[in-house]
Amino acid sequence: MTNPPRSKTAVVIRHVVFEDLGYFAPVLTAAGYDIRYVDLDQAPLSALSPEQPDLLIVLGGPIGVYEVEAYPYLLEERRILAARLAANRPTFGICLGAQLIAATLGADVAPMGHKEIGFGPLTLTDAGRRGPLRHLDGAPVLHWHGDAFQIPSGAENLAATALCATQGFAIGRTVLGLQFHPEVEVVRGIERWLTGHAAELSAAGIDPRALRAQASTIPPEARIAAQRMFEEWLSQIG
């Protein structure tokens, strides 16, 4: 009698509750992963084994990787990432998560001097068109950041926009960092973002009504593209 396949574990570091896996959650479940969120106000990050999970995902958040005195848990996240990256274990970062990966690998992360908030397409590099991001070619994705990472040494630059030249990077088949947010459930999730980041929008002079109107025009095909991108990357890491 054959043993049933072992469930895979996806540990997800979540900085704010409404910035969750969104569209990516059902893709992970379909691929056989058990999802475990690690929230900052629950078990300490020090209890997390860097190498044990089959996949580590670090999500976004409204702070900078350099704000370690105000938010010391960032140092713990970088310690976890350093061990995990050194072991070449599958790791995926979105926005702040990608910036933390880049910083851990020695790349600079700094304010851009402007905000990039809203929906828009990516310009893929040749490397981006060869990999999973090709599914997003021409699709509107959500941008929401004021910092940007430089591409880490040994990584491939995958995409750009007019406001940010570094929108994604990959290291081999096991590490992916995205500056943008393809995971956000636009129809059900955008209101949480508009409310949760109300202070940032106000400071940037961005009217939430304009973003809400943008979100209402995003076609269902954008969700399908995002999920296919993530599904293909998961198939790469096995």
* Residue whose tokens read 């851009």: 112
Strands (E) across 25-174 are located at: 33-39, 55-58, 91-94, 109-120, 123-124, 141-149, 156-160, 168-171
Neighbours of 129 (CB within 10 A): 12
Residue 185 a catalytic site member:
no
Per the annotation, the verdict on 164 as an active-site residue is no
**Which residue, 136, 119, 73, is CA-closest to 100?**
73
Tally Cβ neighbours within 10 Å of residue 233.
21
Out of 15, 135, 143, 181, the active site residue is: 181
The verdict on whether 181 is a catalytic residue reads yes
Reference 231, options 11, 18, 23, 6; nearest CA is 23
Matching residue, tokens 């020090």: 46
Catalytic residue among 19, 77, 116, 183: 183
Residue the block writes with tokens 């574990």 = 9
Contact assessment for residue 79 and residue 44, using Cβ atoms and an 8 Å cutoff = no
Write down the catalytic residue from 15, 19, 77, 95. 95
Give the active site residues: 95, 181, 183
